[in-house]
Chains A and B, each alone.
Chain A
Amino acid sequence: MPAPVVETRSLAKTYGPAVVLREVQLRLLAGAGAFIIGGNGAGKSTLLRILAGLEAPSDGQALVFGQDTRRLAARYRRRIGLMAHQSFLYPNLTARENLEFYAELYSLADPRACAHQWLGRVGLAEVADTRVRAFSRGMEQRLSVARAMLAEPALLLLDEPFASLDHDGAEIVAALIRGAVERGACVLATTHGIPEIDGVELAVFEISRGRLMQHAHKEEVRRGGRIRSLLGR
Chain B
Amino acid sequence: MRKDLRLELRSGESTLALLALSMLVLVVLVFALGAARVRSVDAAAGALWVAMVFAGMLGANRALLAERDNGAIRGLLLSPLDPSTLYAAKLCAALIFMAVAEVGAVILMVLFFNLDFDASMARLAPILVLGAIGFSALATLLSAITGRTRGGDMLLPILAVPIFVPALIAGVKASAAALAGAPFESMGDWLKIMIAFDVLFVTAGYLLFEHVVGGE
Contact = CB atoms under 8 A, between A and B. Distances in A.
Interface of A: 52-55, 74-75, 77-78, 80, 82, 84, 86-93, 97, 101-102, 105-107, 147
Interface stretch (B63-71, B118-126, B144-152): B63-71
Contact of B78 (A52, A75, A93, A101): A52
Given A77-B79, A78-B79, A86-B74, 18 more contacts: A54-B74, A74-B80, A74-B81, A78-B80, A80-B78, A84-B71, A87-B71, A88-B71, A88-B72, A90-B7, A90-B72, A92-B7, A97-B3, A101-B3, A105-B79, A105-B81, A106-B80, A147-B75
Contacts of A84: 71, 74
A155 B72 CA distance: 20
B115 interface: no
A82 B78 contact: yes
27 contacts: A53-B78, A54-B74, A54-B77, A54-B216, A74-B80, A75-B80, A77-B78, A77-B79, A80-B78, A82-B74, A82-B78, A84-B71, A86-B74, A87-B70, A88-B72, A88-B75, A89-B70, A89-B75, A90-B3, A90-B70, A90-B72, A92-B7, A92-B66, A97-B3, A97-B6, A102-B79, A147-B75
Contacts of A101: 3
Contacts of A52: 78
B82 interface: yes
Interface residues of B, number: 21
A147 B71 CA distance: 13
B169 to A, nearest CB: 38
Which of B7, B70, B71, B216 counts the most chain A CB atoms within 10 A?
Answer: B70
Interface string B61-101: 00000100111101111111110000000000000000000
B75 A93 contact: no
A77 B214 CA distance: 14
Interface of B: 3, 6-7, 10-11, 66, 69-72, 74-82, 215-216
A101 B10 CA distance: 16
A86 B74 CA distance: 9
Contacts of A55: 215
Contacts of B3: 90, 93, 97, 101
A102 B72 CA distance: 11
Contacts of B75: 88-89, 102, 147
A88 B216 CA distance: 13
Nearest to A75: B80
A91 B79 CA distance: 19
